[in-house]
Amino acid sequence: MSKKQLNIVFLIAGSEPLGSAGMQADIKAITACGGYAACALTGIVDEDTRRVKSVTPLPVELVVSQAESFLGDVGAQCIKTGVLPTAEIIDGVADLLKRYPDVKKVIDPVIVDSNGVQLVSDESIGAYKEKLFPIATLITPNFREAEVLLKRKITNIWEDIKELGQWGNSVIVKSMQSQVLNGRGSSAQDMLSDFLYNAETGEVKEFRKRRIATHNVNGTGDSFSSAIATYLAKGCTLGEAVEKGEEFIGKAIALGAEYEFGHGYGPVHPCFMEDKVLHERIYN
């Protein structure tokens, strides 16, 4: 009798003390979505709920060796990157991932914080473009990160997003404000939109969602991209994986808003299935 296979997402990401972002958020989201999470650590982020205080990278040799240890022995259906603190780490990770052309890859370019402050060097941004994006299945920049990658303001997301797919990758740009939708998206001020450019079909799709009044949004991008990676690992198409990821993160944000956490930006609630009271409220 053959044994079951796990739906494995291998993370290459950083650790932070809050448990609301980075590797910790990734693992929670992957687990909540029915996947198996494993991780190579890239660095240590020191932060509280109000600001990032420092990012300390691990040696690139150790980062790559951790990944080799897992992927060479166990393997994965999808690989997802989080914070990659230096250009050298980006180069090393890219060289490693090239050895696995059949594994889906979700690259989350963590290059600015929630206040729009750039977290990595211009050299690192160049390394993303030259080394990682060309081998990515999907890149997942938020609105601010997309503008940093484009080196300009977004004026028409329907066209600008295609420029972010110039390396052959699909793109989802998260949390677009209504004023930059060029008349084709929602005009309501209480709405946000995510946009998916599917490189295989050439299509751009909008995912509209109501803005939720909460400060508990730290790690939202990590959790969302990890959910997408999980559904890709489970065999979903890109469109299906993004649809399911949108549903997951919407509920996780809505339920996370129920909690008090620190004095700044708290976490989403990825394990809402375990909270029976909140589960009843969101589903019924």
User: What is the maximum span of the chain, computed from C-alpha positions, in angstroms?
Assistant: 57
What is the model's pLDDT at position 270?
Answer: 83
- Residue identified by tokens 């890149």 is 139
Q: How many CB atoms lie within 10 A of CB 112?
A: 18
β-pair type (52-57, 36-47): antiparallel
Q: Enumerate the β-bridge partners of residue 39.
A: 11
Q: Rounded to two decimals, what is the model's pTM?
A: 0.92
The whole-angstrom separation of Cα 24 and Cα 17 is 9
What pLDDT does residue 106 have?
98
Give the pLDDT of the chain (284 residues) as one tens digit per residue: 788 999 999 999 999 999 999 999 999 999 999 999 999 999 999 999 998 898 999 999 999 999 999 999 999 999 999 999 999 999 999 999 999 999 999 999 999 876 677 888 999 999 999 999 999 999 999 999 999 999 999 999 999 999 999 999 999 999 887 545 545 554 456 789 999 999 999 999 999 988 899 999 999 999 999 999 999 999 999 999 999 999 999 999 999 999 999 999 999 988 765 555 555 554 44
Domain ranges within the chain, ordered by starting residue: 8-283
The CATH class that applies to domain 8-283 reads alpha beta
Residue 2 has a pLDDT of 85
pLDDT for residue 89: 98
Instruction: Judge whether 181 and 193 are in contact, CB under 8 Å.
Output: yes
What does the pLDDT read at residue 110? 92
